[in-house]
C-alpha cells in the first residue's frame, strides 16, 4: 500500500471573464466564468498516519492550521469516507494569498484527491466535488480536471476549450478579501447571461470581470497594475483580485513584457494548462491512473 505522495501539484487558475448574474437568498452570488488552469502551483506532500490525526507539518504565516482548507478538507473526507487513518500534510506555498488565483481552493482539492487515493476511500469525482463545495465555491472546479465554463456559484461545470496561451501575471502587493468585494453595495449583480457557445466568438472580447470595478475602487494598487498592463493587451483581474493578467500568443511576447515590469510589482509568466495534472489521475471508473 502506498503511504506517501510527494510534490502533488495544486495549480492556480485565472478567470478569463467573470460575470455576476444574480444573488441567491443565502447571499452567495450566481456567476458565469471561464476557469483557466495555469502551470504555476503550490505543492503538497502527504503521508498516511495510522493514529487518525490530521497534522499540518509546517507553519504558514496568517493561516492557523485548524482553519487551513487542507486540514478541513482532510477532516471532511475522513468523516465522509469513514477512514480511521490520518495524515501528515506539508504545503509548499508558492501562490499568493488573497490573489484571486484559487490557491487555497486548489490546495484543498489536491488534498482530497491525494487522500482519496492513499486512504482508499474510493469516492467518485462527483462525490469529491460535492464535498469540495462545502469548502469553497472554487473547489469543485479544481477536482473537475480540465478548463471549464462555470455557472451556479461556480459548481456547475462544463468542459471548455480555451486557446493555448501564455500569460503575464502581476501581483499588485495587496491581499483582497473576497467577501468585501462580493458584499460591496456598488457591485453590479445583474449582468445578462452569456452563452457558452459564444466563448470562441468575437463576442467574448466584451466579457469582463464584474468584480474588477469594486476591487479597483477599494484597492487602487489593483487599478494601477491593470492600467500598466493594459499597454500590452486586454488586462483583467482574476477572481476577486488582487492579481491581474494579460494573455499573449507565445512565450517570447510574454518575456518581452515581463522585462518591462517596474520593480514595485512581483510578476511572472505562466503557461495555460489544458488538464489538471493531479485531477486527471482520477479515471472515469474512479481508478487512480499513474501518469
Ligand atoms: O466560497 P468561498 O469561500 O471562496 O467564498 C468566499 C466568500 O465570497 C463567500 O463567503 C461569499 O461572501 C463570497 N462569494 C459569493 N458568491 C460566490 C462565491 C463567493 O458571494 N459565488
Query: pLDDT for 168-208, tens place per residue?
Result: 999 999 999 999 999 999 999 999 999 998 998 988 888 99
Residue 285: per-residue pLDDT: 77
Domain boundaries, the chain: 4-160, 166-271
Q: Look at the domain 166-271 and name its fold.
A: Alpha-Beta Plaits (3.30.70)
**Ligand 1 center from residue 27 Cα (angstroms):** 9
Q: Is 29 helix (H, G, I), strand (E, B) or coil?
A: strand
Position 97 pLDDT exceeds 80: yes
Residue with CA nearest ligand 1 atom 20 = 28
**CB of residue 178 inside a 6 A radius of ligand 1:** yes
Tell me: is residue 105 an annotated ligand-binding position.
yes
Residue 2: per-residue pLDDT: 85
Residue with CA nearest ligand 1 atom 2 = 136
Percent of the chain with pLDDT over 90: 91
Residue 88 pairs in a beta bridge with: 47, 55
Respond yes or no on whether the N-terminal peptide bond of residue 242 is cis (omega within 30° of 0). Answer: yes
Residue 74: per-residue pLDDT: 98
Q: Look up 13 and say whether it is catalytic.
A: yes
**CB of residue 67 inside a 6 A radius of ligand 1:** no
Q: Look up 138 and say whether it is catalytic.
A: yes
Residue 15: per-residue pLDDT: 98
Residue 204: per-residue pLDDT: 87
Position 45 pLDDT exceeds 90: yes
Tell me: is residue 145 an annotated ligand-binding position.
no
**CB of residue 31 inside a 6 A radius of ligand 1:** yes
**Ligand 1 center from residue 182 Cα (angstroms):** 7
**Ligand 1 center from residue 179 Cα (angstroms):** 6
Residues 6+ apart with CB under 8 A from 144: 125, 129, 157, 276, 279
What confidence tier does 284 reach under pLDDT thresholds 50, 70, 90?
confident
- CATH 3.20.20.70 holds for 4-160: no
Q: Give CA–CA dist 255/211, Å, rounded.
A: 28
Residues 6+ apart with CB under 8 A from 181: 187, 211, 214, 215, 218, 240, 241
| pTM for the structure as a whole | 0.97
* 30 against 163, higher pLDDT: 30
**Mean of all residue pLDDT scores within the chain:** 96
**Ligand 1 center from residue 252 Cα (angstroms):** 36
User: ipTM of this model?
Assistant: 0.97
Q: Of 107, 138, 165, 210, which one is the catalytic site residue?
A: 138
Q: Got the DSSP string for 56-120?
A: E-S--TT--GGG-HHHHHHHHHHHHHT---EEEEEEE--SPTTSSS-HHHHHHHHHHHHHHHHTT
Residue with CA nearest ligand 1 atom 7 = 179
Q: Which atom of ligand 1 is nearest to the CA of 105?
A: 4
Amino acid at each position: 500500500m502506498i503511504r506517501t505522495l510527494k510534490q502533488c501539484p495544486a495549480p492556480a487558475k485565472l478567470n478569463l471573464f467573470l460575470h455576476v448574474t444574480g444573488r441567491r437568498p443565502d447571499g452567495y452570488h450566481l456567476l458565469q466564468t471561464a476557469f483557466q488552469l495555469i502551470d504555476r502551483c503550490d505543492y503538497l506532500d502527504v503521508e498516511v498516519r495510522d493514529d487518525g490525526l490530521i497534522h499540518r507539518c509546517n507553519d504558514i504565516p496568517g493561516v492557523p492550521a485548524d482553519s487551513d482548507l487542507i486540514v478541513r478538507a482532510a477532516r471532511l473526507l475522513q468523516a465522509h469516507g469513514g477512514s480511521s487513518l490520518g495524515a501528515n500534510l506539508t504545503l509548499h506555498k508558492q501562490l499568493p494569498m488573497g490573489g484571486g488565483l484559487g490557491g487555497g481552493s486548489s490546495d484543498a482539492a489536491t488534498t482530497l484527491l491525494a487522500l482519496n487515493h492513499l486512504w482508499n476511500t474510493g469516492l467518485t469525482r462527483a462525490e469529491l466535488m460535492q464535498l469540495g463545495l462545502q469548502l469553497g465555491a472554487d473547489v469543485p472546479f479544481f477536482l473537475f480536471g480540465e478548463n471549464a465554463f462555470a455557472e451556479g456559484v461556480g459548481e456547475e461545470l462544463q468542459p471548455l476549450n480555451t486557446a493555448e496561451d501564455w500569460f503575464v501575471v502581476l501581483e499588485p502587493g495587496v491581499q483582497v478579501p473576497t467577501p468585501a468585494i462580493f458584499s460591496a453595495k456598488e457591485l453590479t449583480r445583474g449582468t445578462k447571461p452569456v452563452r457558452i457557445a459564444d466563448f470562441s466568438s468575437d463576442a467574448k472580447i466584451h466579457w469582463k470581470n464584474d468584480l474588477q470595478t469594486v476591487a479597483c475602487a477599494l484597492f487602487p494598487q489593483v487599478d494601477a497594475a491593470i492600467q500598466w498592463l493594459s499597454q500590452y493587451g486586454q488586462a483583467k483581474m482574476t477572481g476577486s483580485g488582487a492579481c491581474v493578467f494579460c494573455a499573449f500568443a507565445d512565450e517570447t511576447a510574454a518575456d518581452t513584457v515581463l522585462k518591462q515590469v517596474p520593480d514595485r510589482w512581483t510578476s511572472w509568466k505562466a503557461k495555460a494548462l489544458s488538464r489538471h495534472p493531479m485531477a486527471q489521475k482520477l479515471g472515469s471508473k474512479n481508478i487512480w491512473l499513474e501518469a
